[in-house]
């Protein structure tokens, strides 16, 4: 903490945070003792409490630092339980933070929020769910990235080695559209109860939208997804990694009307997301000359149905959904962290 000579001009204070190198490029909300305390209280945290650690990087995330960054990001105090759960996910050993956080692949940390807290906080799950315009979506995602930069030493050019990065690195948080869902919500598919609140974290290099306005049944629709997931530029084409698919309204309706289950969709995509070895070799995604056998030998993009995470979000109108390929080569796993019910009572 340091004293500023400038008059109490908010712009000067914001500039001071820029000068210190503590922003993500956008202006931050200057914290105060009161705003930090409110952030901690809303999440039931004590300042010195440790939210998690990354032992290989000698990194510990302390609650007070997380709260400072959450204020800077523009969070309201009631968002802090979601931010804290996301940080715990980042620090889960199975997430293997070092890879997705520091890779040249430049992953966004995608947060899918489920359960009562999503509705209570007004996290957008509808039109423009990945886009601008909703404070909790923008600021919860931003808080997580600021915590990574400031409290987890993950700065561009240093321990963030992203070649291009992607705009989702500023913030990527949305809620699942749980009403009128074809299946059980994402967090329930991962072992929690419908009445639980939870955050699911997955590191994703990119988001690409999948379009199909003609398909009236699951098979042709899902062939578009299988093709998108198996494109030759996809980083994980050989890795059997996880992927997140987000179905929006019209596409979700097609699957629902046909009574396809979540596992039906997953199995179809495991079967159809594939490429011939010859394709891999011609595109130099595998070494060696193309042989006759390569023309009829298939490699599948996914190994297990459960490696395909499926969520529903977005507007009711429009023939768009999205694929978000997971980073890495089974080197990281998505993490779902439950949010303590007791914290919901603090959401005033």
Partner 1 sequence: MKLFDPTSKPVERAVRLAPRPASPKGLRLGLVDNTKFNSDILLKKLAERLAARHQMTVSATNRKRSPSHEIDEAGIRALRAQSDLVISGIGD
The H or E element that residue 73 is part of is helix 63-73
Question: What number of other Cβ atoms are within 10 A of residue 65's Cβ?
Answer: 19
Using N-to-C axis directions, what is the helix angle for 135-146 and 80-90, rounded to 10°? Answer: 40
As beta bridge partners, residue 338 has 198
Half-sphere CA count of 285, side-chain side, radius 13 A: 18
Q: Which of 127, 153, 319, 347 binds partner 1 (CB under 8 A)?
A: 153
For every residue of 135-159, DSSP letters joined together read: HHHHHHHHHHHHIIIIIS---BTTT
Find the shortest distance in angstroms from Cβ 303 to partner 1. 15
For every residue of 259-293, DSSP letters joined together read: T--HHHHHHHHHHHSEEEHHHHHHTTSS-S---TG
Tell which positions 11-40 bind partner 1, by CB under 8 A.
Answer: 13, 16-17, 20, 22, 30-33, 36
| By the rule CB under 8 A, 328 interacts with partner 1 | yes
| By the rule CB under 8 A, 152 interacts with partner 1 | yes
Find the shortest distance in angstroms from Cβ 132 to partner 1. 24
* Residue span binding partner 1 (CB under 8 A) among the ranges 145-153, 168-176, 219-227, 250-258: 145-153
Question: What number of other Cβ atoms are within 10 A of residue 23's Cβ?
Answer: 17
Find the shortest distance in angstroms from Cβ 43 to partner 1. 16
Q: Which of 100, 115, 185, 218 binds partner 1 (CB under 8 A)?
A: 100
Find the shortest distance in angstroms from Cβ 332 to partner 1. 6
Q: What HEC string does 91-121 produce?
A: CCHHHCCHHHHHCCCCCEEEEEEECHHHHHH
Find the shortest distance in angstroms from Cβ 69 to partner 1. 5
What is the rounded distance in angstroms from the CA atom of residue 345 to the CA atom of residue 331?
A: 37
Distances (CA, A) of 189 to 51, 84, 180, 332: 26, 22, 16, 19
The encoded tokens of residue 327 equal 């980073």
Binding letters toward partner 1, positions 56-95, x by CB under 8 A:
xxxxxxx--x--xx--x-----------------------
Find the shortest distance in angstroms from Cβ 22 to partner 1. 5
Q: Which of 151, 210, 246, 322 binds partner 1 (CB under 8 A)?
A: 151
Q: Which of 42, 146, 202, 301 binds partner 1 (CB under 8 A)?
A: 146
Check residue 332 and give left, alpha or beta (phi > 0: left; psi -120 to 50: alpha).
beta
The encoded tokens of residue 174 equal 């949305």
| By the rule CB under 8 A, 8 interacts with partner 1 | yes
Q: Which is nearer to partner 1, 20 or 194 (CB)?
A: 20
Q: Which is nearer to partner 1, 303 or 341 (CB)?
A: 303
Q: Which is nearer to partner 1, 35 or 125 (CB)?
A: 35
Sequence-distant (≥ 6) Cβ neighbours of residue 87 within 8 angstroms: 51, 52, 61, 66, 144, 147
The encoded tokens of residue 149 equal 């930069």
Q: Which is nearer to partner 1, 41 or 226 (CB)?
A: 41
Q: Which is nearer to partner 1, 39 or 186 (CB)?
A: 39
Binding letters toward partner 1, positions 102-141, x by CB under 8 A:
--x-------------------------------------
For partner 1, the binding residues (CB under 8 A) are 1-4, 6, 8, 13, 16-17, 20, 22, 30-33, 36, 53, 55-62, 65, 68-69, 72, 96-100, 104, 146, 150-153, 328-332
């Amino acid at each position: 903490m340091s004293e500023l000579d400038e008059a109490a001009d908010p712009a000067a204070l914001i500039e001071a945070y820029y000068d210190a190198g503590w922003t993500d490029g956008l202006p931050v909300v200057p914290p105060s003792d009161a705003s930090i305390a409110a952030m901690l209280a809303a999440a039931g945290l004590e300042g010195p409490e440790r939210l998690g650690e990354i032992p290989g990087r000698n990194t510990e995330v302390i609650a007070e630092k997380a709260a400072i960054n959450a204020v800077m990001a523009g969070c309201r105090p009631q968002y802090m339980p979601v931010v804290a759960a996301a940080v715990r996910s980042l620090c889960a050993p199975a997430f293997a933070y070092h890879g997705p956080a520091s890779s040249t692949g430049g992953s966004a940390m995608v947060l899918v929020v489920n359960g009562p807290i999503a509705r209570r906080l007004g996290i957008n799950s509808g039109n423009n769910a990945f886009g601008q315009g909703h404070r909790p979506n923008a600021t919860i995602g931003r808080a997580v990235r600021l915590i990574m930069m400031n409290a987890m030493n993950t700065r561009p050019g240093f321990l963030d080695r992203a070649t291009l990065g992607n705009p989702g690195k500023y913030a990527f948080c949305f809620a699942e559209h749980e009403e009128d869902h074809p299946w059980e919500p994402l967090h329930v598919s991962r072992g929690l109860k419908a009445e639980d609140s939870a955050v699911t974290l997955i590191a994703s290099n990119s988001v690409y939208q999948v379009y199909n306005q003609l398909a009236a049944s699951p098979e042709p629709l899902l062939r578009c997804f299988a093709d998108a997931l198996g494109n030759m530029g996809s980083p994980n084409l050989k890795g059997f990694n996880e992927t997140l698919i987000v179905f929006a309204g019209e596409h979700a309706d097609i699957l629902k009307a046909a009574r396809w289950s979540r596992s039906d969709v997953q199995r179809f995509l495991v079967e159809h997301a594939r490429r011939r070895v010859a394709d891999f070799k011609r595109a130099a995604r595998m070494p060696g000359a193309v042989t006759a056998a390569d023309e009829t030998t298939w490699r599948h993009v996914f190994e297990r149905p459960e490696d395909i995470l499926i969520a529903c979000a977005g507007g009711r109108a429009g023939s768009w959904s999205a694929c978000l390929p997971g980073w890495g080569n089974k080197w990281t796993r998505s993490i779902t962290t439950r949010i303590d019910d007791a914290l919901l009572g603090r959401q005033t």
